[in-house]
Amino acid sequence: MATPKFSTKSPTIRRILKEAAELSNSPSADYTAEPLESDLFEWHFTLRGPPNSVYSNGLYHGRIVLPPTYPLRPPSFRFMTPSGRFEANREICLSISGHHEETWQPAWGVRTALVALRSFMETDARGQLGGLETTDAVRRRLAAESSSFKCAACGKTNGEIIKECEERASEASSSAQEVEVPKELNMGWRDEMEAKKKSENKADEANDDAEAAELAEGFVQTAPIAAVDISTPEINNPTPTRTTAPNPAPVPAGPAPNAAAPIPRAAAPGTQQQQIRRASDDGVPVWLDRTIVVLVVLLVALVLKILFAL
Q: Is 93 a catalytic residue?
A: yes
Integer CA distances (angstroms), 121 to 52, 105, 298, in order: 11, 22, 152
Q: Which one of 93, 151, 154, 165 is the catalytic residue?
A: 93
In a 13 Å sphere around the CA of 258, the CA atoms on its Cβ side amount to 3
Q: Are 152 and 66 in contact (CB under 8 A)?
A: no
Strands 76-79 and 59-65: antiparallel
Q: Give the closest residue to 149 by CA, choosing from 75, 49, 51, 52.
A: 49
Which active-site residues does the annotation give? Answer: 93
